[in-house]
Amino acid sequence: MVKEVIIGITIALIIFISLLGINMTPILFIGGMIFLLGYLLENKGLVSGSSNIVKPEFQISFEDIGGQNMAISELKEALDFIINKDSICKMGIRPLKGILLSGPPGTGKTLLAKAAAKYTDSSYIATSGSEFIEMYAGVGAQRVRKLFDTAKNLAKKENKKSAIIFIDEIDILGAKRGTNDSHHEYDQTLNQLLVEMDGIKSNNDISILVIAATNRPDMLDSALLRPGRFDRQVSVDLPDKSGRLQILKIHTKNKPLDEGTNLEAIAEDTFGFSGAHLESLCNEAAILAMRDGYDKIMQEHLLEAVDKVILGEKTDRKPSEEEIYRVSVHEAGHAVVGEIVNPKSVATVTIIPRGKALGFVRQTEKEDMLIYTKQQLEHEIMVALGGTVAELLILNNRSTGSANDFEQAVDIAKKIVFTGLSSLGVISKDDISKEKINKEVNRIIEKQEKKVREILEGKIQELNKISDILVKEETISGSQLREILNIEEDAKAC
């Protein structure tokens, strides 16, 4: 109505000025440019995420998501408020306005949001926090308003009673106010989001639920996390062994697996993998099988896919004979120490170059660990130092190939210090000096290096034998390694 009045007044003014004999060409040109600029900004403010609308036939369900049973259970409990809208209104319960999904990348936060739309029979719109931030003041706030309006209109068009707005990477949009001193557009956009979420009422024709995802919840503004905005925070963590097995089964449903494949063994070998990693693993295994001319995926394809996902594709670069022998000694050192301190932990030892790595020892975690003892952390340091100590014993010098091992050892030693497990006792990170931390880290690493040296000096013949096998065959299995080490006897000795 307001637009029509403005247009009418504008036309009347143009006619009146023309009757006075004034040349309207420059005025019409300037007015046209202003109108065009306003039109472009308005349409740019429609949020490109509004085009990311999932049609009902393409939606996924919670049954299609593996390894997140706890997150799904928490999410369903919150979503039931939308499904049972009439019941909660009778009880005078305030509807949930927002759900925050937090967890590492690739754990399925976007999939959970899409499944939530199907579970509640809601319209679904997805966008990203970065799409709201522009150099033009006010554009981001306008996009937030348009996003909520688009969600309501879409729900009406699809004859739905609710709509779900999914905002990925919300830490870009919802970062703590004042952290971007040179760009107040961030704060204005966040303020508009807070206003829109406050405006969600239970008695509206269309129920709006905002689901957001982030892997940095610590960066979010406190006003965004208070009750009445993001009422629930659901943790979407990396899957455990049973979760990984569930995900592998989901992603191999449409793939021809050989009868001899053992997905449980793959789930055991993929400690620390996210759902995205496991999906990529299954896809890479299928590619490897097709490349080798097989019509079914074999166990060796799955195993090779694990290494490929971790380290990347095999490289064409061929190391020199001297480098090959050094890498063999280095990886043999890691493997021997790994088996001694943690029996039956090594799955494969290889010197086949992948990505930037010239060799690799893949270890199997029998159980997913949530907490670690001081001894377990010290064992990890010993395994990290096994390569460089082996080089020192057999080749009488070290190499730059141990750089990453040293970084890993230092990080673990710092964990020992900061968790109060070192000789310093419980400390304050903010108050202790860097020199004191460095001195304690060096002491921890030197102590573990002495233990590694003692182990490898007692296994020097086996170390040489494993190195020679690696030079000739490039890869040695964990069972073959344990046979050489006679690990059963050594495990008792340890």
CATH (domain of 206): 3.40.50.300
Give 350's strand partners.
360, 475
Dihedral pair phi/psi, residue 20, rounded to 5°: -80, -5
- What's the rounded Cα separation, in Å, for the pair 398 and 389? 8
pLDDT at position 184 is 58
pLDDT band at 490 (very low <50, low <70, confident <90, very high): very low
Confidence class of residue 394 from pLDDT cuts 50, 70 and 90?
A: very high
pLDDT computed for residue 61 by the predictor? 85
pLDDT of residue 5 exceeding 60, the answer is no
Q: Does the CA dihedral 247-253-257-262 come out positive or negative?
A: positive
Residue 48, pLDDT above cutoff 50: no
Q: Answer whether 129's CB lies under 8 Å from 167's CB.
A: yes
- The sign one gets for the Cα dihedral 169, 174, 176, 181 is positive
Does 332 have pLDDT greater than 60?
yes
117 in any annotated domain: yes
What percentage of residues in the chain have a pLDDT greater than 90? 29
Residue 18 or 327, more confident = 327
CA distance 99 to 229: 8
For residue 219, count other CB atoms closer than 10 A to its CB: 14
Q: Look at 227 and 423; give whichever has higher pLDDT.
A: 423
User: What local confidence, expressed as pLDDT, does residue 191 receive?
Assistant: 82
User: How far is Cα 56 from Cα 117, in angstroms, rounded to an integer?
Assistant: 9
Using the predicted structure, report yes or no on whether residue 289 has a pLDDT greater than 80. yes
Q: Taking the alpha carbons of 238, 242, 244, 246 in that order, is the dihedral positive or negative? A: negative
Tokens coding 60: 């996924």
Same domain, 95 and 204: yes
Q: Considering 74, 331, 391, 449, which one is annotated as catalytic? A: 331
Confidence band for 176, pLDDT divided at 50, 70 and 90: confident
Give pLDDT tens digits for 404-463: 899 999 999 999 999 999 999 998 888 889 999 999 999 999 999 999 999 999 999 999
Same domain? For 64 and 213 the reply is: yes
Residue 290 Cα distances to 38, 249, 305, 456, angstroms: 54, 20, 13, 42
Q: At 220, give phi and psi (nearest 5°).
A: -75, 150
Checking if the pLDDT of 32 tops 80, the result is: no
**Range picked from 34-38, 273-277, 332-336 for highest mean pLDDT:** 332-336
Q: How far apart are CA 482 and CA 379, in angstroms?
A: 18
Most confident of 12-16, 114-118, 189-193, 386-390: 386-390
pLDDT at residue 212 is higher than 60: yes
Q: How far apart are CA 229 and CA 100, in angstroms?
A: 10
Same domain, 228 and 306: no
Based on the structure, what is the number of domains in the chain?
4
Mean pLDDT of 45-69: 63
Query: What confidence score (pLDDT) does residue 354 get?
Result: 74
pLDDT of 347 reads 82
* Mean pLDDT value of segment 172-176: 79
Chain centroid to CA 388: how far? Answer: 32
Burial bucket for residue 307 (CB in 10 Å: 0-12, 13-18, 19+): buried
Q: Which domain holds residue 304?
A: 241-311
CATH number of the domain bearing residue 285: 1.10.8.60
Share of the chain above pLDDT 70, in %: 79
My answer on whether 110 and 182 are in the same domain is: yes
Cβ-contact 481, 469 below 8 angstroms = no
d(CA 239, CA 268): 11
pLDDT band at 257 (very low <50, low <70, confident <90, very high): very high
Tokens coding 462: 């086996």
204 and 286 co-located in one domain: no
Pairwise CA distance, residues 420 & 428, whole Å: 9
Both 227 and 280 in one domain: the answer is no
Phi, psi of 17 (to 5 degrees): -65, -35
The number of C-alpha atoms within 13 Å of 68 and in the hemisphere containing its C-beta is 33
Does residue 11 surpass a pLDDT of 80? no
Between 91 and 156, where is the model more confident? 156
* Domain's final residue, options 277, 292, 311: 311
What is the pLDDT averaged over residues 151-171?
88
Q: Are 209 and 96 in contact (CB under 8 A)?
A: yes
Asked if pLDDT for residue 390 goes beyond 90, the answer is yes
**231 and 192 within one domain:** yes
Domain endpoint, select from 235, 259, 286: 235
Looking at the structure, tell me whether residues 304 and 338 fall in a common domain: no
Q: What is the pLDDT of residue 222?
A: 84
217 and 260 belong to one structural domain: no
For every residue of 394-440, DSSP letters joined together read HHSS--GGGHHHHHHHHHHHHHHHHTT-STT-S--TTTS-HHHHHHH
40 and 81 in a single domain? The answer is no
**Strand 346-350 versus strand 360-363 pairing type:** antiparallel
139-151 per-position pLDDT tens digit: 777 888 888 888 8
Adjacent-strand bridge partners of 99: 211, 232
Residue 171 lies in a domain: yes
Reply yes or no on whether 259 is catalytic. no
Gap between the Cα atoms of 335 and 476, Å rounded: 10
- Average pLDDT of the chain to the nearest whole number: 81
Looking at the structure, tell me whether residues 350 and 462 fall in a common domain.
yes
Same domain, 198 and 332: no
**Mean pLDDT (whole number) for 50-68:** 68
Query: Does 163 reside within a domain?
Result: yes
pLDDT for position 9 = 67
Q: Categorize the per-residue pLDDT at 46 as very low, low, confident or very high, splitting at 50, 70 and 90.
A: very low
* Domain end point (choices 27, 44, 61): 44
What's the alpha-carbon Rg for the chain, to the nearest Å? 30
Rounded to an integer, the average pLDDT of 118-144 is 77
Q: 232 pLDDT band (50/70/90 cuts)?
A: confident
Q: Is the pLDDT at 36 greater than 70, yes or no?
A: no
**325 vs 472: CA distance, rounded Å:** 10
Residue 399 confidence (pLDDT) above 80: yes
Predicted model pTM: 0.69
**pLDDT on residue 51:** 45
Give CA–CA dist 307/281, Å, rounded: 9
